[in-house]
Structure 1
Amino acid sequence: MKLIKTEDAVGHVLCQDITQIIKGVTKDAVFRKGHVVTKEDIPVLLSVGKEHLYVWENDENMLHENEAAQILYEICRGEHMHGTDVKEGKIELVAEIDGLLKVNKKRILAVNSFGQMMIASRHGNVPIKKGDKIAGTRIIPLVIEKEKMEKARQTGGSEPVFQLLPFKHKKVGIVTTGSEVFKGRIKDTFGPVIKGKLAEFPTEVLGQTYVDDTKKNITAAIMDHIANGADMVVCTGGMSVDPDDCTPGAIADTGARVVSYGAPVLPGAMLMIAYYQKDGKEIPILGLPGCVMYAKRTIFDLVLPRVMADDKLEKEDISILGEGGLCLNCEVCTYPNCGFGK
């Protein structure tokens, strides 16, 4: 930092805010720290009494905050997102599509641990709408060592901190079990709930099949939907551990790879996730617990966005949901802007 005459400051970077005070009109910074002085700025600077200015001295080993901010942005940016204009070392990332946000937690921690730079983001594995803000990044000081920024760039290799996986169009088959519904003794209230949640994503419901509590009939209904081109099958009813609850066994009898039966989430402990192999791809089969029918938000809301983005779920992905897996059933639901599933 050095002090120079204002008339000689063109092209230099200010090291301080320059405040303009006009009684009854304004009291604000007319130029911010980090501003690059232009010829047109000189009369304004002189008018606010600044005949000398503190400016940044060029140093080949240092970067201006805006140059460093661009590097931080490049570390963060994945596909389907863009940055705002850099301002005072800050760039925000904005979604260009609807999709599932994935966060490289190890890398964001590594970058934030360097100090003098920061990344603040939304939680990962949540649905994002086009135009939503994904993250904010900032360089803290006016200047920062080039070496530090290069070390930050090297953390985690070439993988960006953020990825936005687009939701895929899926044809969905629904299998509703239960003799009471199959025989028309009660009206099905599960199907409309499932269809409503599926409608939040690019889906086409191929049909809803009603079957009794016979395991082989449930298995056959699942396989019929797959044979008819379903990219995903959702099963409702018969998911508990009672002797006459046959849906988990029926899903297993399809030959699908069972990832998990049970989840550390309330509501939603009796969830089942399996993948059926067909023509080189894995078709998800979800067995949904009864709570999905009446609770505002459940395990289904946590796994559905990931399934829709073809984000393959494994046992660990379910087990890790225990912390944050308790829905508080708030009177006014704000999900996903709450702690559930985070």
Structure 2
Amino acid sequence: MKKALKIFSLVLLMLVVVAGVVVATTPMKKLISLAAPKIDNIRVTDTRVDEETATMHVLMDVTPSFLSTFVDSIEYKFKLYNKTVAQGHKGFERDANQKKQTIKFPMTMNHNQTRELVRRQVKEGEKVQAYIKAYSDVPLLGRRMFTINEDLDMVIPALPGAKITNVNITDFGLDEMEMVMTMQMDNPNEFDFYIRDMKMTLNFPDKMHSVGGSGKDYLVKAQSLTPVQLQTVSDVKKPLKTTFKTLTGDHVWNYRMNASMVLEPKSDVVGTIHMDMVKTGKINVVQQLKKAKATEKAERKAEKQEKKEARKKEKAE
């Protein structure tokens, strides 16, 4: 029994000596980095996209190491293809009821700087390079900084493209005009998304103002183009003057469209996206009216032919 106790004591002493040698010969910075908390389950939520920027919240689950505890603040920088796409810092308050820490911080990207990088990432599957400094109180050692540099499988949503491809005037009166605009939605992302709610205002300066929307949900497939129909009703300004000028040569009208929509991705790592956009262009009103009239005439002719064939069928029976 005494012999076994002596052997156990010697082994324990050897372990303490080895641990002491390791600690003494390993730089403190490296020791602390080995005790850094683990970050995983990264996802993006609360995204808002406009013409120049995309703002979103990044969520990460934090698993403490044997030394680290609650992470009270971080400094972060994210890169794509070695180019910075977002950076900042954020502090956190401890929640007594929180069993596992999930940190949430804002990220803002400028489309002019990141649009092509993010679209390229979608095609090539490039990982996001994360450079994070996490601050935490460590027992006996006090407040410490943990450096976490990792390549992350993080999905950054790319800005969908939108282009007006057709404007169809369905009715033109003295004080009102009805139109159907076709917008081609370009989804460069690796996930499908639904357009749940799309509203728009359309302004033809000095001529008319209109409001409208999609009227239904649309599913836009990943990496594809999808046409979206927008119906509008317009109030004509100075009806008689506008109509006269249009009929006597003012055929081409400039427009400015402001649209907002809610996109719901079919993805577990990207949440709802709120998107605002501004589009400008021009349409030939007279040309569109002629097209609408020709379409109406063809529909009446087809209806007349259908009734004629129905009568023939009745007589034959």
TM-score (norm 2): 0.28
Q: Which has the larger radius of gyration?
A: 2
Which has the larger strand fraction?
2
Greater relative contact order: 1 or 2 (C-alpha under 8 angstroms, separation 6 or more)?
Answer: 2
